[in-house]
């Protein structure tokens, strides 16, 4: 069986970079990875992490998901235009009260996170259908199934992604194609830093006092703590994704973070949809002390298990 061709978007940092490197370093050399980024001058970190795979199982190419011509040029440059596995990863976040955001800012998020995927699919789906072979893997988010306070537009963009893929999945089956949504919770990447820094800069003068206070003193105040407690590393997401692309019958949805699943399960537990909303409200406004204590407890457990893992490794070596 020849190598499978994998095209990944947004590989200049974070999950995309980790994915490209992990898949290119596959022990059985099952994949040829085209790691793409919109700005090739940001390729240094990937070049370094790719090491010897560069020019062998990994090649870097330019691709901007907001530019149809750039997508076409990239796909046209591939041997026989063949892509067996598309990993749509490029994306951006946006936090804050909606009254403080412009429609332009919101459109940029939708254009990147949702229309970026649509453009890729328009370019690649017809070829995949013709070959009756292909797997489309989308880095969605837990926010593709559940909205989170002050992430209104970001969550909307990921809901759009999920609705789009769920609708297409039936048609895809007819052509022997698979679609999989990877749904990480918080992941420690540039995304976290960029979103937080932009959040600190939000001009809250258009928001009322209660909303501005909620954003600053509840959301932003707890933001880093949530990432520290529940955050996964991009390498974890890469490992999960590698498993999904090597399965015979890959699932349509895959959540990567077991610490987060109690939250998303609330959504499926109540068809009225009130349970997750009421629970989030109580966590934030009524049981904030219990919520913070639980986060600290999880942090302690994770710290201890990391420490014993390091000690075990030291003993073994
Ligand atoms: N971090 C998290 O907590 C979570 C992230 N996700 C999702 O994971 C994906 C990757 O994010 P993550 O690695 O965390 O964040 P990063 O900010 O580290 O990476 C985002 C990548 O997307 C690229 N990108 C942005 N816009 C475009 C564009 N128009 N064309 C091509 N590439 C673009 C960025 O390129 P550039 O460097 O040029 O900006 C960068 O390479 C996103 O879809 C995000 O929504 C999902 C769940 C949680
Ligand atoms: C869990 C939780 C919170 C925050 C969750 C966050 C911040 C999740 C971030 C997820 C990301 C970044 C996904 C990216 O796609 C709140 C609202 C503070 C309180 C209620 C419980």
Q: Which ligand is nearest to the CA of 220?
A: 2
State if residue 172 touches ligand 2 by the CB under 6 angstroms criterion.
no
Q: Which two tokens stand for residue 234?
A: 């991009």
Q: What letter does residue 3 receive in the DSSP assignment?
A: P
ipTM for this model:
0.97
Q: State residue 8's pLDDT score.
A: 98
Whole-model pTM: value is 0.94
Q: What pLDDT sits at residue 314?
A: 63
Residues 6+ apart with CB under 8 A from 254: 180, 181, 182, 183, 240, 244
Tracing tokens 């795979």 back to the chain, one arrives at 53
| Residue minimizing CA distance to atom 15 of ligand 2 | 141
Residue 286, pLDDT above cutoff 90: no
Q: What is the pLDDT of residues 205-243, one digit of tens each?
A: 999 999 999 999 999 998 988 898 899 999 999 999 999
pLDDT of residue 307: 65
pLDDT of residue 312: 65
Q: Which CATH number fits domain 4-270: 3.40.50.80, 3.40.640.10, 3.40.50.720, 3.30.70.330?
A: 3.40.50.720
Supply the pLDDT for residue 285: 85
- The residue ranking higher by pLDDT, 311 or 188, is 188
Mean of the pLDDT values across residues 64-80?
98
- Residue 226 in contact with ligand 2 by CB distance below 6 A: yes
Rg (CA), the chain: 20
Model confidence at 194, pLDDT cuts 50, 70, 90, reads very high
More confident residue, 109 or 314: 109
Lowest mean pLDDT among 66-70, 89-93, 150-154, 266-270: 266-270
Kindly give the number of the ligand 2 atom that is closest to the alpha carbon of 219: 18
168: its two tokens: 């297409």
**pLDDT for residue 316:** 60
132 backbone φψ class: left, alpha, beta (φ>0; ψ -120 to 50): left
Distance 195 CA to ligand 1 centre (A): 11
Ligand 1 atom, smallest distance to 88 CA: 43
| Category of 246 on φ-ψ map: left (φ > 0), alpha (ψ -120 to 50) or beta | alpha
**Would you say the CB of residue 199 lies under 6 angstroms from ligand 2?**
no
Residues with a CB atom less than 6 Å from ligand 1: 9-10, 12-16, 37-39, 42, 64-66, 89-92, 112, 139, 141, 184, 186-187, 189-192, 194, 234
Band of the pLDDT at 301, cuts 50, 70, 90?
A: confident
Task: Please provide the average confidence, as pLDDT, over all residues in the chain.
Answer: 93
* pLDDT at residue number 308: 65
**pLDDT bucket at 309, cuts 50 / 70 / 90:** low
- Nearest-CA residue for ligand 2 atom 21 is 280
- Reply yes or no on whether 223 is catalytic: no
- Helix residue spans in the chain (DSSP H): 14-24, 44-50, 68-76, 103-110, 116-131, 152-174, 190-201, 209-214, 221-230, 234-245, 261-269, 274-281, 288-316
Of all residues in the chain, the percent with pLDDT exceeding 90 is 84
For 126-142, the pLDDT digits (tens) are: 999 999 999 999 999 99
Confidence of residue 58 (pLDDT cuts 50, 70, 90): very high
CA neighbor of 226 nearest in space, from 283, 146, 282, 182: 283
Residue ranges per domain, the chain? 4-270
pLDDT at 96 > cutoff 90: yes
Residue closest via CA to ligand 2's atom 9 equals 186
pLDDT band at 100 (very low <50, low <70, confident <90, very high): very high
- The length of the chain, given as a count of residues: 317
**276 is written with which tokens?**
């997750």
Q: How far apart are CA 179 and CA 170, in angstroms?
A: 9
The answer to whether 277 touches 208, Cβ cutoff 8 Å, is no
pLDDT in the model for residue 292: 75
């Amino acid at each position: 069986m020849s190598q499978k061709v994998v095209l990944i978007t947004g590989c200049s940092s974070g999950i995309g970079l980790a994915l490209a490197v992990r898949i290119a370093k596959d022990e059985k050399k099952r994949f040829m990875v085209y790691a793409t980024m919109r700005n090739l001058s940001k390729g240094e970190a990937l070049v370094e992490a790719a090491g010897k795979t560069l020019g062998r199982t990994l090649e870097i190419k330019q691709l901007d998901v907001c530019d149809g011509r750039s997508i076409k040029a990239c796909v046209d440059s591939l041997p026989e235009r063949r892509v067996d596995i598309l990993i749509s990863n490029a994306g951006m976040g946006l936090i804050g009260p909606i009254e403080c955001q412009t429609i332009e800012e919101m459109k940029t998020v939708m254009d990147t996170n949702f229309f970026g995927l649509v453009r890729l699919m328009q370019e690649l789906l017809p070829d995949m259908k013709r070959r009756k072979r292909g797997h489309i893997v989308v880095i969605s988010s837990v926010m593709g199934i559940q909205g989170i306070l002050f992430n209104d537009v970001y969550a909307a963009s990921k809901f759009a992604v999920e609705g789009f893929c769920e609708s297409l999945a039936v048609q895809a089956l007819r052509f022997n194609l698979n679609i999989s949504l990877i749904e990480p919770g918080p992941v420690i990447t540039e995304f976290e830093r960029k979103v937080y820094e932009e959040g600190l800069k939000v001009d809250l003068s258009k928001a009322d006092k209660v909303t501005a206070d909620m954003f600053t003193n509840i959301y932003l105040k707890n933001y880093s703590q949530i990432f520290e407690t529940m955050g996964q590393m991009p390498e974890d997401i890469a490992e999960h994704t590698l498993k999904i692309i090597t399965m015979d019958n890959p699932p349509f949805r895959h959540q990567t973070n077991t610490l987060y699943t109690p939250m998303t399960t609330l959504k499926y537990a109540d068809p009225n949809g009130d349970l997750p909303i009421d629970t989030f409200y109580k966590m934030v406004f009524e049981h904030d002390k219990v919520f913070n204590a639980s986060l600290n407890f999880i942090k302690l457990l994770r710290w201890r298990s990391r420490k014993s893992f390091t000690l075990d490794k030291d003993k073994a070596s």
